[in-house]
Amino acid sequence: MSKTLLGVDTGGTFTDFVLLDAGRLRVHKVLSTPQAPEEAILQGLRELGLDRGDAALGMVHGSTVATNAVLEGKGVRTVYVTNRGLKDVLTIGRQARAALYDLQPALIPPPVPAALCLETGGRLGADGGVVEALTESDLRTLRDKVAALQPAAVAINLLFSYLDDRFERAIEAALPEGLFVSRSSAVLAEYREYERGVATWLNAWVGPLVQRYLARLQAALPHTRLAVMQSSGGTMSAAQAGGQAVHMLLSGPAGGLSGARAMAGCSGHQRLLSFDMGGTSTDVALIDGDLELTTEGRVGPYPVAVPMVDMHTIGAGGGSIAGVDAGGLLQVGPQSAGADPGPACYGRGGREPTVTDANLVLGRLRPDAFLGGALRLDTGAARQALARLAAGLGTDAEQAALGVVRVANEHMARALRVMSVQRGVDPRGLTLVSFGGAGGLHVCALAEELSMTTALVPLHAGVLSALGMLVAPRERQLSRTLNRALAECEGVDVEAAFAELAERGTAELVAEGVPAEQLAVERRLDLRYRGQSYCLGVPWSGLADSAQLFHDLHERRYGHQLDLPVELVTVRLALRGPAGSLPVNAVTASSAAPREHAVLFGHDAPVPVYTREALAAAAAQAGPLLVTDTVATTYVAPDWLASVDVCGNLLLHRGPAR
């Protein structure tokens, strides 16, 4: 373990840093540099006084390079190789309409142009038998076609490759040197050729970009041990991550959930509804003890079947731009001002009104306390931007600002309901955990929308994703589809499949410095009734016990069991090293007095403004009030009580209405 550990989260607006050094935490923020993310990281290192050549420094990084490339459609030129007759699989997809009743939908370009889709031999049947051999002539022809197309990457997706990967390996070995090659049997050894193909193609499409970025970062930090956050909430070495870009699509948000779980757990809160409101988007998730993972996630228009944290993302953040649509209605997002030029109040040339500008005009942001005073906000520019919006609405700047905040709140409340109410979970029994640079300004309103009475704003909430990376374990999520009737499986067959996955994952983690004896193992099965299309995951505890767990879970989830045979579809293995720990640095202050009083729109009298340290020394305070710290501001609304616990978290409780 490195003596000094740095968590770095690159967001759309800010790049966040949390430094753990000698048992103490330091936090920092700089504006992101989207065209070259490493520049913001190196700037932050300089401002933190860290030596690039320090061999004692370890860094865990959450990167948006893969995510942005997918969302912006800026992957590399990629050839897709599959069996004869199947080159249109990615284009056809599942034929699911984005708008069910739109009879003339806009034409969506295929993921891979037809000219870059190649077919060859090497076809297996569902039983693993050879239907069509892969000949030397096939390999020569394929190699010549790939060489003529001059791609940067190749994705190989053959039918039933999860049963036998020899043909995919042969194709990889025959391809011209210097290409980034992604095999479906290595990326996602599971059934469903479309989802497997998309994951394999995404990995190839953005892999060279991630690989080059990590190489530049590592070259700039030659002695730093660099690890990367995965979408599943664990980390891997940067050397391995370059070839597994598809596992990094939610790396930043996964760090936030890891941090939320750790900090809320310090306060004794285990059942959480979280929202991470940054500059560009808001990520919402449900945490009931452990992080929930899904293999049915999406990034942009694409399904991503690799394990990732289960969350819902919307385009509502501090930088979300407000405007008036053709019908005269106020709209907020999903377009964002980003880091450049940013909101109008940043004074970097932005003119469009944003949620951050609205909070500043309402008085909920203090112009001299933003980022601990490192970035002074321009109230005049924000007011001018809101005044232009107000003119289109026939009102004044303050009312327009209030409308912007309310519309943004409604977007986020709807997302919170998706992850709770729509899943049969009553949010009133949960704690609302707010983080991200903008989250604390909206937490009380969102809790009220969902009739929740308890909320928590963690210590260092504005950089919680970076903080979460410090506690994330080294991890591998491995899987393999077997697809057979559970009654026909021998326990030894299932154990053998798990042993094969464990051998591979253990070797990778040991190579990253995790002792084999410290690895925790979690084994699960994806089961379904015969005839069903989707599975439920249960722990592996023997054939009979796992079958009963499936019956019980199916009844809890859907209200009934079926008298049908159970099928074992996929075995899943999670290998994790030890999780990190965070020091509990008590927040102390010599004074419990507010640092100032501020005029907030809608309040008759000025409200107190506390630093988090000062509030820690005081008894619980009733809103309305503001709580500031180095990286975020929290607005405590009327009828809410605020206090700081021993971990430094801000606890909010709603009392009876006055």
For residues 106 and 15, state if they share a domain. no
Question: Mean per-residue pLDDT for 148-173?
Answer: 97
Are 500 and 524 within one domain?
A: yes
Q: Which of 193-202, 374-383, 440-449, 583-592 has the lowest mean pLDDT?
A: 583-592
- CA 171 from chain centre, in angstroms, equals 33
Degrees to nearest 5, angle at CA 419 with 235 and 278: 60
Give yes or no: residues 216 and 140 share one domain. no
What confidence tens digit (pLDDT) does each residue in 71-114 have?
788 899 999 999 999 999 999 998 887 788 888 888 888 999 99
pLDDT grade, residue 369 (50/70/90)? confident
Is the residue at 405 inside a domain?
Answer: no
Query: What CATH number does the domain containing 112 carry?
Result: 3.40.50
Q: Which residues contact 625 (CB under 8 A, 6 or more apart)?
A: 594, 607, 608, 609, 610, 636, 642
Count helices and strands in the chain by DSSP H and E runs: 17, 35
Tokens standing for residue 520:
């925790």
Question: Is the preceding peptide bond at 253 cis, omega within 30 degrees of 0?
Answer: no
pLDDT in tens, 121-142: 999 999 999 999 999 999 999 9
The mean predicted confidence, pLDDT, of the chain is 91
> Would 345 be classed as within a structural domain?
no
Count: domains in the chain? 4
Q: What is the average per-residue pLDDT within 314-321?
A: 87
Tens digit of pLDDT for each residue in 622-639? Answer: 989 999 988 889 999 999
Mean pLDDT of 510-523: 94
Closest CA to 27 of 42, 46, 48, 13: 48
- Quote the CA–CA distance of 339 and 33 in Å, as a whole number: 7
The reported pLDDT for the residue numbered 657 is 44
Spatial contact of 198 and 147, defined as CB atoms under 8 Å apart? no
Residue 14 shares a structural domain with residue 94: no
Whether residue 289 has pLDDT greater than 50 = yes
Q: For the ranges 152-161, 276-285, 395-404, which has the lowest average pLDDT? A: 276-285
Given 207, 241, 272, the domain boundary residue is: 207
Highest-confidence range of 39-48, 152-161, 372-381, by mean pLDDT? 152-161
Whether the pLDDT of residue 502 is over 50: the answer is yes
pLDDT attached to residue 623:
83
The span from the CA of 341 to the CA of 437, in Å, is 17
- Does one domain contain both 185 and 89? yes
Beta bridge partners, 297, equal 304
The predicted structure's pLDDT at residue 1: 46
Confidence of residue 585 (pLDDT cuts 50, 70, 90): low
Nearest to 460 by CA among 136, 16, 15: 16
Examine the domain organization and report whether 198 and 101 are in the same domain: yes
Residue 506 in domain = yes
Least confident of 53-67, 180-194, 424-438: 53-67
Contact 411, 431 (CB under 8 A): no
Q: What tens digit of pLDDT does each residue of 218-252 get? A: 999 998 999 999 999 999 999 889 899 999 998 88
- 126 and 161 part of one domain: yes
Decide if 54 is inside a domain. Answer: yes
In a domain, 273, yes or no: no
- pLDDT confidence of residue 211: 94
Higher-confidence residue of 242 and 528: namely 528
Structure-token pair, residue 261? 């779980």
What is the reported pTM? 0.88
For residues 131 and 221, membership in a common domain is answered with: no
- Decide: 157 and 117 in contact? Cβ < 8 Å: no
* Domain identity same for 197 and 88: yes
Alpha carbon separation from 657 to 295, 423, 471, 553, 636 (Å, rounded): 43, 29, 39, 40, 14
Residues 172 and 135 in one domain: yes
pLDDT tens digit string along 412-447?
999 999 999 998 899 999 999 999 888 999 999 999
* Residue 571 belongs to a domain: yes
Given a contact cutoff of 8 angstroms between Cβ atoms, the answer to whether 323 and 331 are in contact is yes
Listed residue (195, 175, 406) closest to 305, CA to CA: 195
Nearest to 199 by CA among 343, 295, 320: 295
Coil vs helix vs strand at 432:
strand
Separation between Cα atoms, residue 395 and residue 387, nearest integer Å: 9
For residue 294, tell me if it sits in a domain.
no
- Burial zone of 307 (CB within 10 Å; 0-12 exposed, 13-18 middle, 19+ buried): buried
Q: Are 369 and 306 in contact (CB under 8 A)?
A: no
pLDDT greater than 80 at residue 584? no
- Most confident by average pLDDT, 1-5, 262-266, 487-491: 262-266
pLDDT in tens, 604-614: 999 999 988 88
Question: Which amino acid, 353?
Answer: P
Domain that holds residue 639: 596-654
| CATH code of 238's domain | 3.30.420.40
Question: Which class for 596: exposed (0-12), middle (13-18), buried (19 or more C-beta within 10 A)?
Answer: middle
Residues 92 and 162 in one domain: yes
Percent of the chain beyond pLDDT 70?
A: 97
CA distance 573 to 657: 49
Q: What is the pLDDT of residue 658?
A: 40
What tokens appear for 390 in the block? 């107000």
On whether the CB atoms of residues 379 and 367 are closer than 8 A, the answer is yes
Check residue 370 and report its DSSP letter. G
Domain boundary among 207, 236, 269: 207
Is 155 part of any domain? Answer: yes
Scanning the structure block, which residue is given the tokens 């084994």?
523
Longest dimension (CA), the chain: 83
Residue 14: pLDDT band (50, 70, 90) is: confident
Q: Kindly indicate the confidence band of residue 515, based on its pLDDT and cuts at 50, 70 and 90.
A: very high
State the CATH number of the domain containing residue 558: 3.30.1490
CA dihedral sign, ordered 107, 110, 116, 119: negative
From the number of C-beta atoms within 10 Å of its C-beta (0-12, 13-18, 19+), residue 296 rates as: exposed
DSSP label at 424? T
Lookup result for tokens 């729109």: 601
pLDDT of residue 272: 96
**Which pLDDT score, from 0 to 100, does residue 52 have?**
66
The confidence score (pLDDT) of residue 372 equals 64
Residues 51 and 83 placed together within one structural domain of the fold = no
Q: Is the pLDDT of residue 53 over 70?
A: no
